[in-house]
Structure 1
Amino acid sequence: MGMHGLGGGGPLHAVWEQRRSRQYLEGGGKPSKETARRVWRVLRPHRTILAFALLLTGLGVVVGLIPPLLVRDIIDRAIARHNLSLLIWLAAGLVAFPAAGALLGVGQNYLNTVIAQGVIHDLRRALYEHGQRLGVDFFTKTPGGEIHSRLVNDLNAVQNVLTRTLSGLFVNALTVVLTLATMFWLNWKLALASALVLPAFALPVMSFGERTYHAITKAQEALSRLTQHLEETLTLSGILVVKSFGTRRREADRFRALSQTVRETQVRQNMVGQWLSLLVQVLSAFGPAVLYGYGGYLVMTGKTPLGTVVAFATYLTRLFNPASSLAGANTSLIGGLALFDRIFHFLDLPVSVPEPEAPRPLPVNSGQPVALAFHHVTFAYPGQAPVLRDLTFEAEAGRLTALVGPSGAGKTTILSLAARFYDPLAGTVSLADVPLTDIADDVFRTQVAVVTQELFLFHASLADNVRYGNPDAPPELVWEAIRAAQLEELVRSLPEGWDTVVGERGYRLSGGEKQRVAIARAILKNPSVLLLDEATSSLDSHAERLIQEALQRLFHGRTVIAIAHRLSTILAADQIIVIDQGQIVDRGRHTELLARGGLYARLYHEQFDPGLNPPAAAISAR
């Protein structure tokens, strides 16, 4: 079965799978208490720095309470008693304490940033590593932009939550408590009158939480779709399709529409906070009115000094902003948890190909030929009929096993199971008589190399691409692999030799050159088993000959399972397995299969005109 089979059973099925995947990623509803507990578990490794940051925050709040008391003493003691010396000291304090508070604020902001970046680093690493563990099935039904949005957009938004919301909650709570305590200490009557105003604006603020959650969720979803469109149409592969089909204007219109949606959702998200701010400002005007009215009466009747009322006015100004923020903690927390919820939903995605809890060792070393066997394997892609049914065969150690069959027969699926991109629904795939599900992934990957039909090269030098599977390989081994893959002439012709950057996906190289780079990469890795989806049908005869010579060296002394699109590459295979509709319909060597006149013979005669001599080139694993 071709690689297109990995994604589903047609366009409608693919769209449905993408929608289902997006729904799972996004989750729904309001974040639960479990989300809050998980946020604390994320913060817990940074609790020492967090405690120190909270200490600085507390000191900053205490220092901020002192200037109003200095103002009170300036009015009631220094000015009233004409004490110039005391006035100078108190005035100096109005400079020193705010400066100390600002210095503490710098330290607090630094520690908040360190904590936030540490948490973001932990989450970014967890998201990336979990994404690596997810099965191939997830990537076939999930747009790349959706994944990258978690790693970029959501984490950037979470950073704002960590540096502002979480630390702000502590600052605001401490400020409200200490400010109210100081106000009651100064004058309990004025403090009581001021405190009675607080619920007047606290209650409306608390109702904005769910609206904020939905506004943030919609904004992040819109940003995710925009990111997906960018990655599909402004990468090398995407832009080639856009230019080839002349759809630049259509894609620009789609981008404009998606960008407009982002704009609208961001405006709605921002306006939720703006309307809340407006409501708080209007309602908070009642506080000073009550204070100055009642406080003025107390001053006029001689029951309270003027400096105390002025200090109260300062405290009241300090009180309303943190009190309104604290009243809106529901809004801020739920909005922040909405972002964490999206990240946790991704981290909760199930791993379809899990690591074994108690891995078994392999009885072979890397590079030593080893048998790979299928035992009564049945497999189906999600939502589809079985692709493979009760499949049993063994690729003998050091031998070439070729898979032949019509398109859609299940050949690529066999290779995907052998590479453990998927696990079978029934039966087992084993390496050296050890089931693949019992082998640690890093151990398995050292034994097996995969050369797929869709070749991928990184935007790096040719040498770096060759040594990708063996980054510590010395230059002489890299050059030996390049020679074995028939790349020596190409390297000498490149402007910077093997240090020449091959471009995104190796775009600066031809199809045959890219395939030989992939072969060199496999040779340098020195695997025990090679899985090859060989595609040379689109190459000219010279490129095909070079690749066949490279494959001859790659196959030597290894267990090979190869899908043959050109029968000329497997005429001398030790075993040819003929696949049709997910089952083995015939097996044997070339001459045996040809003599039986079955499906293999029909495929062979369709490819080679009887009037022409079949190609003499043949590849053996020995």
Structure 2
Amino acid sequence: MEPVPSGRDRGSHKPGRDHKPGRDRGSHELSAEEQAQARQVSLRRIGGLFARHRGALATVTAIIVASSVLATATPFLLRAVIDRALPERDLPLLAWLVAGLVVVAAVTSVLGVAQTWISTRVGQQVMHRLRTDVFTHLQRQSLAFFTRTRTGEVQSRITNDIGGMQSVVTSTATSIAANLTTVIATGVAMLALSWRLSLVSLVVLPPAIWLTRRVAQLRREITARRQRELADLNVTVEEGLSVSGVHLAKTLGTGPALAARFTASSARLVDLELRSELAGRWRMATMSVVFAAIPAVIYLSAGLPGTAGTLSIGTLVAFTALQGGLFRPLTGLLNVAVSVTASLALFARIFEYLDLPVEVADPAEPVEIDRRRVRGELRLTDVTFHYPGSDTAAVAGINLDVPAGTSLALVGETGSGKSTLAALLSRLHDPTSGRITVDGVDLRQLRLADLAAIVGVVSQETYLLHTTVRENLRYARPDATDAEIEAAARAAQIHDLIAGLPDGYDTVVGSRGHRFSGGEKQRLAIARTLLRDPRVLILDEATSALDTETERAVQRAFDEVARGRTTVTIAHRLATVRDADRIAVLDHGRIVESGDHADLLARAGRYAALAA
């Protein structure tokens, strides 16, 4: 069926958010919209992703606190070794102190392993939920969303954007807890050893915080640009390396141009990655110099007249060890700030998809129906539909009654609204006004799963999965037996061809079914729909890709399976619909004639002109 407005309506269809007119795909500048989105990302909402894991996070926090407190015993043990055990040659005390150092290291290592396992598990569960939530929510979007979104953009958000925030999601909470606890514990220990030297050590904080803020802002901007560029790269791969894309490139000779486009996009990614890494490296280099200078200042301070002789060698060594150990957790805290700030651009892109409204959704209080007892009576009452952004109705004021078990044919020129009407009948869109009912129940009051079981669609565009013939057919009904699959294939006049293949029903159809001809793919699609045994069958140019002989065979099959079903057929070739119980002629979205074949010919109107 037509996924977008056809003919005169197509030009008025609004472009999507990710495919804006005049937007330079190679540009690194953030749009005002993207900047606003990044600013609006709430840290509370990000924290809400971890709400269901409070118990595990509390356990990790307890492990971190215990590990950090235990680790601060090391410098005190070291001071005792230098100031007491060694000068006094107290071997038993030395043995106990050395054993204590080993025990502290062993216990903190074991706690570190436990902490890593729990925190990684929580992080991966959050990632899993985020991926599945985005995928499930996008599955509920209408066709309009996918027609206005660039090919490859959706995949890029699920893979690149969610993958890019993995380190933040899996380690941020525990990293903050671990490093903050370590910094506090180390600071307390430093104060206990010498408050004067502790004040000297604090000079590192102002330049460290200032540098971190600068790098965070830069990385946030670069991250947003990088994800846009990754999406562009993904689009190029999808468009250039799919079967259809390769075929188009080879027939038009555009391979070199595609390669140049991919190369340029990849080069821009290299530049962005280099800028991001260098921003962090310059900060780390500067911080390393500052932290390396602190011990020198401490040694100098210890030798000044005011402090000389007030500190023991053990205290000085223990203090410098603590101060050196402060570098890693403090840098870790600052790095977390950088990562979280940079990742806001990623969260903005993901939350943008999660916040998309569902245009065609399940009703809050669905009408319960027994699918086996549905008769299939269709009624369209004053149905009008506008595609988003279009001021002209694709169909307007449609009134039709299709009794159960009868056949209706919709005919008209390209762009007259036939496929739009078929899309409304299968609820790919909802009418802008009016209502469509089956057995008196508005389609909007039915669960989408119930409607899909009632209304079967065979469209003019056939999509097959890259798997076996059997699994392609079973996709329509997972519990179908092999006998039922073969029966559906026979009805679609495709069983003999499948049986003649070397692997039969286990033959892999290839990417998008390109192993089969257009007519063969169409018949596979017909078999797949028939396997669901729907009460209402919509055939949208279902035989358009078939040769005359095959079309006649499939038409006979349709005549057979249509008995007892309500059938709506859309066709350009009027020979395929002349036996329909009723034929409606559409023109510019309106029904201009209605009747059976003989009656419409006798009127010598629009139908007769189409048949001429």
TM-score by length of 2: 0.93
Q: CA deviation at 1:299?
A: 11
Q: Tell which deviates more after alignment, 283-292 or 221-230.
A: 283-292
Distance, in Å, in 2 between the alignment partners of 1:33 and 1:331 is: 18
Letter paired with 2:295: P
Equivalent positions of 1:202-213 (< 5 A) are 202-213=209-220
| Structure 2 unaligned residues grouped into runs of 5+ | 24-29
Partner of 1:138: 145
Distance, in Å, in 2 between the alignment partners of 1:386 and 1:546 is: 37
Q: Tell which deviates more after alignment, 555-564 or 156-165.
A: 156-165
Change (3 A) 1:581 1:6: closer
Q: Tell which deviates more after alignment, 41-50 or 327-336.
A: 327-336
1:387-416 CA-partner distances (Å, limit 9, x unpaired): 111111122211110000000000010011
Change (3 A) 1:37 1:17: closer
Letter paired with 1:258: S
Partner of 1:247: 254
Matched, 1:365 2:367: no
CA contact (8 A) 2:19 2:150 kept: no
Matched, 1:377 2:383: yes
The Cα RMSD (Å) is 2.4
CA contact (8 A) 1:516 1:550 kept: no
Letter paired with 1:601: A
Partner of 1:89: 96
Partner of 2:513: 506
Q: Tell which deviates more after alignment, 277-286 or 48-57.
A: 277-286
- How much identity, in percent, do the aligned residues show? 38
1:478-524 CA-partner distances (Å, limit 9, x unpaired): 22212212122112201111111111221111222211111111211
Change (3 A) 1:466 1:332: closer
**What SS is found at the alignment partner of 1:403?**
strand
Letter paired with 1:19: H
1:289-324 CA-partner distances (Å, limit 9, x unpaired): 322112344898331211111111111111133224
Q: CA deviation at 1:209?
A: 2.7
Matched, 1:353 2:360: yes
Partner of 2:164: 157
Matched, 1:596 2:590: no
Q: Tell which deviates more after alignment, 311-320 or 330-339.
A: 330-339
Matched, 1:59 2:59: no
Distance, in Å, in 1 between the alignment partners of 2:478 and 2:545 is: 31
**What SS is found at the alignment partner of 1:117?**
helix
CA contact (8 A) 2:460 2:544 kept: no
Distance, in Å, in 2 between the alignment partners of 1:262 and 1:6 is: 37
Distance, in Å, in 2 between the alignment partners of 1:331 and 1:97 is: 31
Partner of 2:443: 436
Partner of 1:19: 19
Partner of 2:422: 415
Q: CA deviation at 1:598?
A: 0.8
Q: CA deviation at 1:162?
A: 2.0
Distance, in Å, in 2 between the alignment partners of 1:9 and 1:430 is: 26
- The counterpart of 1:393, out of the listed 380, 384, 400, is 400
Change (3 A) 1:505 1:99: same
| Structure 1 unaligned residues grouped into runs of 5+ | 606-622
Partner of 2:348: 341
1:94-122 CA-partner distances (Å, limit 9, x unpaired): 33322322222222111121111100110
**What SS is found at the alignment partner of 1:51?**
helix
Letter paired with 2:444: T
Letter paired with 2:471: D
CA contact (8 A) 1:229 1:255 kept: yes
Distance, in Å, in 2 between the alignment partners of 1:207 and 1:246 is: 47
Q: Tell which deviates more after alignment, 218-227 or 193-202.
A: 193-202
- The counterpart of 1:314, out of the listed 321, 329, 339, is 321
Q: Tell which deviates more after alignment, 137-146 or 299-308.
A: 299-308
1:443-495 CA-partner distances (Å, limit 9, x unpaired): 21111111111011111111111222211012222222122121221122011
Distance, in Å, in 2 between the alignment partners of 1:561 and 1:15 is: 31
Q: CA deviation at 1:355?
A: 2.1
Distance, in Å, in 1 between the alignment partners of 2:608 and 2:356 is: 46
**What SS is found at the alignment partner of 1:460?**
coil
Matched, 1:237 2:244: yes
**What SS is found at the alignment partner of 1:28?**
helix
Partner of 1:105: 112
- The counterpart of 1:581, out of the listed 581, 584, 588, is 588
- The counterpart of 2:300, out of the listed 293, 300, 315, is 293
Change (3 A) 1:295 1:327: farther
Letter paired with 2:234: T
Distance, in Å, in 1 between the alignment partners of 2:311 and 2:100 is: 24
Change (3 A) 1:523 1:539: closer
Change (3 A) 1:212 1:64: same
Equivalent positions of 1:165-564 (< 5 A) are 165-297=172-304, 301-327=308-334, 329-362=336-369, 364-366=370-372, 368-384=374-390, 385-564=392-571
Change (3 A) 1:118 1:462: same
Q: CA deviation at 1:592?
A: 0.4
Distance, in Å, in 2 between the alignment partners of 1:13 and 1:387 is: 11
Change (3 A) 1:57 1:309: same
Q: CA deviation at 1:6?
A: 6.4
Change (3 A) 1:25 1:195: closer
Distance, in Å, in 2 between the alignment partners of 1:34 and 1:439 is: 36
Letter paired with 1:168: S
Distance, in Å, in 1 between the alignment partners of 2:605 and 2:491 is: 36
Distance, in Å, in 1 between the alignment partners of 2:273 and 2:387 is: 39
Distance, in Å, in 2 between the alignment partners of 1:139 and 1:495 is: 37
Letter paired with 2:352: H
CA contact (8 A) 2:5 2:13 kept: no
Distance, in Å, in 2 between the alignment partners of 1:332 and 1:220 is: 15
Partner of 2:27: none
Letter paired with 2:543: T
Q: CA deviation at 1:225?
A: 0.9
**What SS is found at the alignment partner of 1:19?**
coil
Distance, in Å, in 1 between the alignment partners of 2:335 and 2:253 is: 51
Partner of 1:620: none
Q: CA deviation at 1:127?
A: 0.5
Partner of 1:617: none
Change (3 A) 1:133 1:394: same
Change (3 A) 1:563 1:367: farther
Q: CA deviation at 1:164?
A: 3.4
Change (3 A) 1:367 1:459: farther
**What SS is found at the alignment partner of 2:152?**
helix
Distance, in Å, in 1 between the alignment partners of 2:337 and 2:244 is: 45
Q: Tell which deviates more after alignment, 415-424 or 332-341.
A: 332-341
**What SS is found at the alignment partner of 2:540?**
strand
Q: Tell which deviates more after alignment, 222-231 or 430-439.
A: 430-439
1:551-604 CA-partner distances (Å, limit 9, x unpaired): 223322111111012212111101101000000000000000011111111111
Distance, in Å, in 2 between the alignment partners of 1:134 and 1:197 is: 52
